[in-house]
Amino acid sequence: MQPEEILSSRNDGRMLEHHLQKIREISSHCRQRNGADPLSYKLSRKLLWCNIEGLPTSTNGITRIPAPDKQIVKMLFDLHDGGDAEALLRAAEGRLPQFIFWIDLNRFVAESLARLGANYTRAHRAVCQETAFLIYQLPGLEDLSFADGTPFSTLETKDWLKSIAIHSGTPSKTVSDSKCNFQDDKNRVAEEIAEALDMIHKGKLLEAMECLQQKLNAASSGREKILWRLAVARLLLKVKKYELALPHLDQIIREIDIFHLENYDSALALKGLKMVCEGLESQNDESLKSKKAEVLYRIAKIDMAEAIRLGKA
């Protein structure tokens, strides 16, 4: 390359960066002027993701990308659980430039926009479309994690990604849709458990467990899988098949750890840990006492009162 070509290349780079900065300023101005303007959400994501050519380097799904501070994670999830849509929108959208692969941020933004009402529908659609296109270009991104193991996408975010996926041909779901689907999952599990109990009372234990295992294997999301596993474990404990329940209790602990549920879905984590604790309590095995103590400690970090109650059992 000749000196004048190098100079020209550098000038082109500077000019490109100059124009990109102008677009960033336009995007920021649009959002500050009108938080319902879809253009700002489209522009910010196109700028952040346009130069990504492939998945970040990873080993066993763990990248070298520094994770967000735990306090930031807690703050965002507290805002989400508290229902403060405007504050969550500002906090999540504002951190996207720092954590461009943290897909949870996009779900938080989308859910916030959905909660803010009809005026924000186009902005909500823009966030869903841009995020769906990113995953379409980089399939598997949602399964990766930051350097400390914090996932780019929680179970709820993965469910959301499935609902907005380009190949699905269906519109993105709103917050109320997600809650309804979660309730539907729980209702369906409860119905299947009732049928399985009826089969067991008729002496068809094997058939009942085969049916539930098929449901577990066919679960379409991580959350649904955990719900089915909890149901299987609960049923085995109910009919006093303690040894058969233990492998499922161990797997519940593993899935809570894999998906960092204590940070990202504390209610589901608490449900799973309580099930494990109750299962261990049913065993007259001294070697399991230390394991129960560990589970109680984890429960206490989520709900101290519940840990005290279980500890007295």
Residues 202 and 57 in one domain: no
Banded pLDDT at 23 (limits 50, 70, 90): low
In a domain, residue 66? The reply is yes
How many Å apart are CA 298 and CA 308, to the nearest integer?
12
| Cα torsion angle, 230, 235, 236, 242, sign | positive
How many Å apart are CA 135 and CA 154, to the nearest integer?
15
Banded pLDDT at 145 (limits 50, 70, 90): very high
Residues 67 and 144 in one domain: yes
How many Å apart are CA 200 and CA 209, to the nearest integer?
9
Q: What is the pLDDT of residue 13?
A: 56
3-class state of residue 32 by DSSP: helix
Report the number of distinct structural domains present in the chain: 2
Q: What is the pLDDT of residue 134?
A: 93
Residues 27 and 123 in one domain: yes
Give pLDDT tens digits for 87-97. 999 999 999 99
Domain boundary among 138, 173, 208: 173
- Of 260, 78, 270, whose CA–CA distance to 156 is shortest? 260
How many Å apart are CA 128 and CA 166, to the nearest integer?
10
Q: What is the pLDDT of residue 170?
A: 44
In a domain, residue 68? The reply is yes
Looking from the CA of 230 toward its CB, the CA atoms found within 13 Å total: 23
Please name the amino acid found at residue 55.
Answer: L
3-class state of residue 202 by DSSP: coil
How many Å apart are CA 101 and CA 49, to the nearest integer?
9
In a domain, residue 295? The reply is yes
At residue 243, what are phi and psi to the nearest 5 degrees? Answer: -65, -35
Q: What is the pLDDT of residue 60?
A: 92
Q: What is the pLDDT of residue 175?
A: 45
Mean pLDDT, range 95-111, rounded to an integer: 95
Give pLDDT tens digits for 160-217. 998 888 754 444 444 444 444 545 555 677 777 778 878 877 888 888 888 888 888 8
Cα three-residue angle 171-173-178, rounded to 5 degrees = 155
Banded pLDDT at 16 (limits 50, 70, 90): low
CB-count burial class (<10 Å; 0-12, 13-18, 19+) for 282: middle
Residues 6+ apart with CB under 8 A from 42: 126, 130
3-class state of residue 151 by DSSP: strand
pTM: 0.56
Residues 128 and 237 in one domain: no
Residues 81 and 28 in one domain: yes
Cβ atoms of residues 185 and 227 within 8 Å: yes
Domain boundary among 149, 173, 197: 173
Residues 147 and 196 in one domain: no
Residues 230 and 270 in one domain: yes
Supply the range of the domain harboring residue 120: 11-173
| Cα torsion angle, 87, 131, 179, 261, sign | negative
Give pLDDT tens digits for 230-256. 888 888 888 888 888 889 999 898 888
In a domain, residue 79? The reply is yes
In a domain, residue 2? The reply is no
Beta-carbon neighbour count of residue 210 at 10 Å? 12
Domain boundary among 119, 143, 173: 173
Q: What is the pLDDT of residue 101?
A: 97
Residues 162 and 211 in one domain: no
Q: What is the pLDDT of residue 200?
A: 79
